[in-house]
């Protein structure tokens, strides 16, 4: 059993921003950061393009960034939250720079700002094409300055502790659900322990692993969303899954798809189909830099028309020296598989990339459960609406990591007495005999989601997906009740819940808006509606 003042689940940009700030404000309090993997194994580490933020006030303005975010969000952004993130984001970027993050500068010493789809100005701060790695490095270095931060790696958080664990009936209509901490599996000794906390922050990141092809690393299994849903908290807008238009097409490579950042198109890269046609002109006047939902759908349509499983990104005409300078990681990766970008086009296809919905929060990161906050990709703050503007997520994670800290620091809550919370009950379970029951179900899940709940949806496909998920759920629950828990089993269970929430959201939304496109309802409805489950 562990007790802490502030518990943080997740060591990406959202969790670490919060932890650093809380540790600085309360040197006498304990902040515990838990991660199920290595400290830096996060979506944050893989971010490429950069952070959007208004730093060039001569050419850019808050109003323009706000407008671009609202346009991308296709009517569903919360304008108040958009204004908060755009305006406060600049302070958060300054802090990150003070903490040691290095962003590229031009010859005059000004920040070399990048361009991405949906942005009307150059405003993306970046560190080559490995911005996330630089940010994660900076934050982990900063954490070391605080002896009151306890960092626990390779512990898998299984469940939120609420009144349910004290023996009370908790339903969606229970008015005052409270979070007292979590049960977590220590994967060093396979014991399940309680971590009791006054305040808990979920910063568990995205859920791309629900799909067969994703840019997300293996940690992105939607655990936070699934835990809140099971604890009867509110989840919002899960149908808005963003597919990145240009993941490197590498058949047979499996696992995480390598991203070709949108900044490559920002610097002049052109999408072409099998015949070599620059097809974006047929889809949107903003061509290759239209918002992501439009570009991903255009690629999907071209692939279907041509009967191919990828299109190409043509960089052959670009200044090669500049390309290598800005995108050294992409250049090396392509070379490693025999693609010289000065001579060959890069094969690319869309891949699941970002979850716009998630745990519903207010403008201070408060969830519907007391003493439980959420920030970063696992949260639905109202910023992204129906489609996230490129490079707005790192910004949002910092702003809401800060806001959750700001609000949480005003209300100190003591952790509950250990004696009140029962230990994890593993009675009646035995060690799993066959891992294939888990691995095969995971493959099925990813196929169902990719084939029926991808970029283009129909009512029939969604109905089929739901029926198959039902079966997977029943089988997995049975396994969960009878076998000792493992991270793989918990992740599968969480991913099935997340998939259910995506399909349910998609079924409720009888329109096409932003990232959700259903051919049975190809138009937007007159109703601006967030779907809360």
- Please identify every residue annotated as catalytic: 292
> Considering the complex, what minimum distance in angstroms separates the CB of residue 150 from ligand SIN?
31
Does residue number 395 form part of the binding site for ligand SIN (CB under 6 A)?
no
Does residue number 233 form part of the binding site for ligand FAD (CB under 6 A)?
no
Residues 270-299 that bind ligand FAD (CB under 6 A): none
Binder of ligand FAD out of 24, 29, 37, 104 (CB under 6 A): 37
| Closest C-alpha to 18, from 415, 392, 376, 378 | 376
CA distance 373 to 400: 10
CA distance 135 to 506: 34
CA distance 127 to 440: 39
Which one-letter DSSP state was computed for residue 128?
Answer: T
Per the CB < 8 A criterion, the answer to whether 213 and 351 are in contact is: yes
Does residue number 34 form part of the binding site for ligand FAD (CB under 6 A)?
yes
Stretch that binds ligand FAD, among 47-55, 85-93, 440-448, 519-527 (CB under 6 A): 47-55
Q: Which helix (H) or strand (E) holds 16?
A: helix 13-25
Look at residue 54 and give the partner it binds from ligand FAD, ligand SIN, none, a contact being a CB closer than 5 to 8 Å depending on partner kind: none
Maximum CA extent, the chain: 69
Does residue number 42 form part of the binding site for ligand FAD (CB under 6 A)?
yes
Does residue number 47 form part of the binding site for ligand FAD (CB under 6 A)?
yes
Look at residue 346 and give the partner it binds from ligand FAD, ligand SIN, none, a contact being a CB closer than 5 to 8 Å depending on partner kind: none
Does residue number 259 form part of the binding site for ligand FAD (CB under 6 A)?
yes
Q: Six-digit token pair at 144?
A: 């070391």
Does residue number 203 form part of the binding site for ligand FAD (CB under 6 A)?
yes
Q: How many CB atoms lie within 10 A of CB 259?
A: 24
Per the CB < 8 A criterion, the answer to whether 184 and 211 are in contact is: no
Does residue number 134 form part of the binding site for ligand SIN (CB under 6 A)?
no
Cβ proximity to ligand FAD, 204 vs 381, nearer residue = 204
Stretch that binds ligand SIN, among 59-67, 87-95, 390-398, 459-467 (CB under 6 A): 390-398
Per the CB < 8 A criterion, the answer to whether 350 and 178 are in contact is: no
Q: How many CB atoms lie within 10 A of CB 140?
A: 15
CA distance 26 to 295: 46
> Considering the complex, what minimum distance in angstroms separates the CB of residue 423 from ligand SIN?
41
Cβ proximity to ligand SIN, 155 vs 354, nearer residue = 354
| Closest C-alpha to 396, from 380, 379, 378, 376 | 376
Binder of ligand FAD out of 113, 377, 398, 497 (CB under 6 A): 377
Look at residue 132 and give the partner it binds from ligand FAD, ligand SIN, none, a contact being a CB closer than 5 to 8 Å depending on partner kind: ligand FAD
In angstroms, what is the C-alpha Rg of the chain?
22
> Considering the complex, what minimum distance in angstroms separates the CB of residue 203 from ligand FAD?
5
200 strand-pairing partners? 7, 372
Cβ proximity to ligand SIN, 48 vs 355, nearer residue = 48
Residues 256-285 that bind ligand SIN (CB under 6 A): 261-263
Look at residue 180 and give the partner it binds from ligand FAD, ligand SIN, none, a contact being a CB closer than 5 to 8 Å depending on partner kind: none
> Considering the complex, what minimum distance in angstroms separates the CB of residue 247 from ligand SIN?
10
Tell me the per-residue interface mask from 24 to 63 with ligand SIN, x by CB under 6 A, - otherwise.
Answer: ------------------------xx--------------
Q: Taking the alpha carbons of 27, 30, 35, 38 in that order, is the dihedral positive or negative?
A: positive
Binder of ligand FAD out of 21, 36, 65, 165 (CB under 6 A): 36
CA distance 244 to 296: 7
Residues 341-360 that bind ligand SIN (CB under 6 A): 354
Contacts 24+ apart (CB under 8 A), 279-283: 279/311
CA distance 213 to 67: 31
Label each residue of 378-408 as H, E or C: HEECCCCCCCCCCCCHHHHHHHHHHHHHHHH
Provide the CA 460 distance to its chain's centre, in angstroms. Answer: 28
Label each residue of 230-281 as H, E or C: HCCCCEECCCCEEEEEEEECCCCCCCECCECCHHHHHCCCEEECCCCCCHHH
> Considering the complex, what minimum distance in angstroms separates the CB of residue 93 from ligand FAD?
11
Kindly give the interhelix angle for 393-408 and 79-98, rounded to the nearest 10 degrees: 90
Does residue number 10 form part of the binding site for ligand FAD (CB under 6 A)?
yes
Binder of ligand FAD out of 3, 32, 35, 512 (CB under 6 A): 35
Cβ proximity to ligand SIN, 116 vs 239, nearer residue = 116
Per the CB < 8 A criterion, the answer to whether 504 and 473 are in contact is: no
Binder of ligand FAD out of 114, 350, 358, 376 (CB under 6 A): 376
| Closest C-alpha to 495, from 211, 156, 240 | 211
Does residue number 391 form part of the binding site for ligand SIN (CB under 6 A)?
yes
Does residue number 408 form part of the binding site for ligand FAD (CB under 6 A)?
no
Look at residue 237 and give the partner it binds from ligand SIN, ligand FAD, none, a contact being a CB closer than 5 to 8 Å depending on partner kind: none
Q: Which residues bind ligand FAD (CB under 6 A)?
A: 9-15, 34-37, 42-44, 46-51, 131-132, 156-157, 203-206, 215-216, 219, 223, 259, 354, 376-378, 391-394, 397
Q: Which residues bind ligand SIN (CB under 6 A)?
A: 48-49, 261-263, 354, 390-391, 393
């Amino acid at each position: 059993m562990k007790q802490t003042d502030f518990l943080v689940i997740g060591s990406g940009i959202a969790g670490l921003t919060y932890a650093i700030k809380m540790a600085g404000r309360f040197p006498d309090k304990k902040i515990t950061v838990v991660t199920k993997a290595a400290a830096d194994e996060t979506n944050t580490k893989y971010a490429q393009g950069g952070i959007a933020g208004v730093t060039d006030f001569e050419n850019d303005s808050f109003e323009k960034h706000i407008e671009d975010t609202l346009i991308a969000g296709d009517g569903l952004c919360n304008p108040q939250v958009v204004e908060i993130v755009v305006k406060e984001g600049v302070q958060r970027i300054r802090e990150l720079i003070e903490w040691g993050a290095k962003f590229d500068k031009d010859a005059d010493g000004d920040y070399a700002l990048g361009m991405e789809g949906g942005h009307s100005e150059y405003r993306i701060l970046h560190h080559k094409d490995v911005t996330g790695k630089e940010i994660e490095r900076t934050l982990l270095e900063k954490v070391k300055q605080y002896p009151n931060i306890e960092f626990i790696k390779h512990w898998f958080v299984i469940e939120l502790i609420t009144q349910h664990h004290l023996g009370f009936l908790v339903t969606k209509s229970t008015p005052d659900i409270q979070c007292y901490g979590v049960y977590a599996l220590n994967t060093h000794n396979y014991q399940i322990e309680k971590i009791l906390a006054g305040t808990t922050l979920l910063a568990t990141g995205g859920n791309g692993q629900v799909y067969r092809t994703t840019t997300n690393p293996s940690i992105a299994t939607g655990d936070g969303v699934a835990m809140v849903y099971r604890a009867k908290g509110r989840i919002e807008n899960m149908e808005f899954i963003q597919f990145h238009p240009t993941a490197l097409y590498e058949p047979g490579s499996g696992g995480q798809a390598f991203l070709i950042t949108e900044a490559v198109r920002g610097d002049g890269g052109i999408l072409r189909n099998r015949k070599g046609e620059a097809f974006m002109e047929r889809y949107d006047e903003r061509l290759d830099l239209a918002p992501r939902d439009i570009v991903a759908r255009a690629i999907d349509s071209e692939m279907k028309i041509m009967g191919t499983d990828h299109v190409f990104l043509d960089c052959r005409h670009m200044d090669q020296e500049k390309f290598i300078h800005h995108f050294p990681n992409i250049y090396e990766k392509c070379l490693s598989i025999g693609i010289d970008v000065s001579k060959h086009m890069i094969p690319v296809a869309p891949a699941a990339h970002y979850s716009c919905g998630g745990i519903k929060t207010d403008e201070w990161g408060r969830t519907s459960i007391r003493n439980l906050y959420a920030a970063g990709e696992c949260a639905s703050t109202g910023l992204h609406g129906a489609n996230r503007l490129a490079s707005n997520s790192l910004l949002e994670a910092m702003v809401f990591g800060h806001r959750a800290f700001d609000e949480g620091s005003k209300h100190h809550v003591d952790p509950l007495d250990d004696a009140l919370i029962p230990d994890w009950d593993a009675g009646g379970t035995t060690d799993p005999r066959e891992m294939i029951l888990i691995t095969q179900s995971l493959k099925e899940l990813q196929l169902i989601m990719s084939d029926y709940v991808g970029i283009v949806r129909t009512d029939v496909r969604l109905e089929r997906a739901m029926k198959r998920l039902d079966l997977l759920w029943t089988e997995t629950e049975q396994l969960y009740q009878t076998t000792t828990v493992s991270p793989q089993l918990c992740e599968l269970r969480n991913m099935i819940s997340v998939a259910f929430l995506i399909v349910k959201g998609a079924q409720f939304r009888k329109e096409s808006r932003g990232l959700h496109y259903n051919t049975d309802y190809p138009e937007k409805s007159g109703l601006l509606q967030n779907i809360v489950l």
